[in-house]
Chain A
Amino acid sequence: MTPADIPSITCEDAAGLIGARVDGEIAPVDAARLEGHLSNCGGCRALAEAMKQQDADLEQAFLARGSAAEVNAERAIGRIARTRLPVRRFRPWMTVLASAAAGFLVAMVVFHPWRKVAPVGPTASTTRPVLREPVARLALATGLIEVCPSEESTWSALPTGGAILPGTRVRTGERVRCEFETPDGSEIRLNANTEARFTSSRDFDLTQGQAWSMVAHAAAPFEVHAATATFTALGTQFDLSCAKNETRLTVVEGSVKVNTPGAQQLIKSGQGVNITDGAIGQPRGTDLLTTTAWVNELLRLKGHDNAELNARVNDLLSRLGQTKMEELNDQEIRALGDHCVVPLTKYVQSERSHTSPYHREAAARILADLAEPWSIPDLIALLGDEQANVRFYAAMGLRRVTGTDLGYEPEKWRGDRNAESEEAIKKWQQWWKNSADRFPRAPVNTKAVPVTRPI
């Protein structure tokens, strides 16, 4: 086909074809028609240039969104893995129980114990072992957890995944914390130097120490008995700290009913109350993050991008600049180590963070110190941030993690964005394209908790 054979097109047609060409979707015949038109139309040539630039701008603008979607995919996979768990969650227990039953039957076959007591074989009803259902299993522990079965006095070590039968006593030692999961999905965490006795999956005695309960909603009430009172909930989160004559209740979410021999009171979310010698004190607003800070160590064991941990980081972050304890809150976030990287990154990327430049900068500052190699794409994306100090801290983080600044010193990112900085961003993007394989991928959370609120 010669140029003379190619039908001409209008400027309106050209706009669509320019877009198709930018996107690599133009047919050869249309490309020829477009070329013919552009050679004679200055307006459309300018439009072609503008669309090329616009395409690059849009790609850049959505770069971080694409990465965020990938992180989100891993979170979804974690959630899906959790939905599969109920089928096999208690399989280790079942294995234990099945093994016990099998062992019992083998022993019966081998030793024929009934012959010692009766000349004829026993009926099934007299020989069937009574299998009691476990009420909880040990999900996490930072050290040795000991258990003492009902009506026994010998304590022994409980392995992770180990089952708790009704009536079992559990104790934690010095600086040891643990978490139990119950069949209904509730979680019970014990602080160091704590002793408790599990009666059922929704009932335990707190003899001493501190316990956090995250109660799954169910028709049956969830009860904790301490020396001075009984605490009842249907679905909530609360922390109990128990001494000899005094118990301290802190309600993190929902409400908890306190019953003593002489009184009853409902304590609501955000409130704390002391129960001393059976007398319920005045409920007061309480610092939830400080009271429950001890659970952070357990949350770290749950992997990265844990929703509960993320919410804690966000709460701590929101406190920066608002209280005299700024340094403490900053340290509290840093104490979470690389586990705070995902929530901090999400915060800086979030739309809502733009309303608080102070907190964005604080988050970026901590990120610069704690970012991991798998944060590199996010840090590169932040080099294009509208906030100068966020760009600076992203560059600091990149230099710390990669050992290079690609010739563009972090301090320069504090200056206005210009052609040189845009060029530096492109260099980083190219560098990452060539180097990504050398760095570890973001850890996949193995124990993700469904997100209950936006990060």
Chain B
Amino acid sequence: MVDEELVRQALAGKSSAYDQLVRLWARRITAFCHARVRRIDIADELAQETLVRGYVALPTLSDPRRFGSWLCGIALRVCLDWLKRSERSEVSLNDDDPADLSDEDSPGAAMDTLEEKGRLLAEVERLPLKLREVIMLYYYQDTTYQELADLLGVSFATINARLTQARALLRERLSALREL
């Protein structure tokens, strides 16, 4: 059942409809939060908060077809609030700043004790926001380029380009780590 219909049912008072929306969107919202705060444990907490706030604010959703984007908007505010509280100003909504490509952490920092999977996740978290966002959204939940494009408000080609760029950067960085 599509989001639109579930939203209508939830607004009509069918509580299981919103539960279904939560299950449908939990992975993507967690990915979205993880991309912004770069902390797995916090991402879970913020995603949960987003899903709960979404329930409370559902009557304010004007276009049920845009439920996903609307929920991402809530997630964004929840994440920004958390970042503000924790004074983690290094991550922002549009941080395409090249400085972000050369993080303060040296590539080898904290890597010695982690093996491949941990390294890979850590490197994903170090990607620039727009690249880690698309990588996380893609791998948290099996989804199509078009769904991602609709959610993020960009083109199909942009999704392909970002994924390609993210993967290239990851290969480059992991290869540099292996050579250390």
B26 touches A61 (CB 8 A): no
Q: List A contacts of B138 (CB < 8 A).
A: 23
Q: List B contacts of A68 (CB < 8 A).
A: 30, 40, 44
A451 touches B114 (CB 8 A): no
- Chain A contact residues: helix, strand, loop or mixed: helix
Residue of B19, B56, B114, B124 most packed against chain A (CB within 10 A): B19
Q: Which residues 224-238 of A sit at the B interface, judged by CB distance below 8 A? A: none
Q: Give the size category of B's interface with A.
A: 35 or more
B142 to chain A, nearest CB (A): 9
Q: List A contacts of B136 (CB < 8 A).
A: 62
B125 to chain A, nearest CB (A): 9
Which residue of B15, B44, B116, B167 is within 8 Å of A72 (Cβ)? B44
Binary interface profile of A, 276-313, with partner B (CB < 8 Å = 1, else 0)?
Answer: 00000000000000000000000000000000000000
Shortest Cβ distance from B121 into A: residue: A61
Is A103 part of the contact surface with B, judged by Cβ < 8 Å?
A: no
Is B18 part of the contact surface with A, judged by Cβ < 8 Å?
A: yes
Binary interface profile of A, 315-342, with partner B (CB < 8 Å = 1, else 0)?
Answer: 0000000000000000000000000000
Is A31 part of the contact surface with B, judged by Cβ < 8 Å?
A: no
Q: List A contacts of B116 (CB < 8 A).
A: 57, 386
B140 touches A352 (CB 8 A): no
Is B89 part of the contact surface with A, judged by Cβ < 8 Å?
A: no
Which residue of B18, B22, B141, B164 is within 8 Å of A15 (Cβ)? B164
Given contacts A69-B44, A80-B18, A83-B55, contact A16 B164 (CB under 8 A): yes
Given contacts A50-B171, A84-B15, A351-B41, contact A73 B145 (CB under 8 A): no
Is A124 part of the contact surface with B, judged by Cβ < 8 Å?
A: no
Shortest Cβ distance from B145 into A: residue: A25
Given contacts A25-B144, A70-B27, contact A351 B40 (CB under 8 A): yes
CA distance A60 to B115 in the complex (A): 13
Which residue of B42, B51, B115 is within 8 Å of A80 (Cβ)? B51
Shortest Cβ distance from A386 into B: residue: B115
CA distance A69 to B35 in the complex (A): 14
B residues apposed to A, CB below 8 Å: 15, 18-19, 22-23, 26-27, 29-31, 34, 39-42, 44-45, 47-48, 51-52, 55-56, 113-118, 120-121, 124, 135-136, 138-141, 144-145, 160-161, 163-164, 167-168, 170-171
10 CB contacts below 8 A, A to B, read: A16-B160, A62-B140, A65-B40, A69-B30, A70-B26, A83-B55, A384-B117, A386-B116, A451-B48, A454-B42
Known: A76-B48, A349-B40. 19 other contacts (CB 8 A): A54-B170, A58-B139, A62-B121, A62-B136, A65-B34, A69-B44, A69-B47, A69-B140, A70-B27, A72-B44, A72-B48, A76-B47, A77-B19, A80-B15, A80-B55, A83-B55, A350-B40, A352-B41, A451-B48
List the 7 shortest-distance A-B pairs measured between CB atoms, nearest first: A73-B26, A386-B115, A69-B30, A62-B139, A76-B51, A69-B27, A19-B164
A residues apposed to B, CB below 8 Å: 15-16, 19-20, 23, 25, 50-51, 54, 57-62, 65-66, 68-70, 72-73, 75-77, 79-81, 83-84, 349-352, 354, 384, 386, 417, 451, 454-455
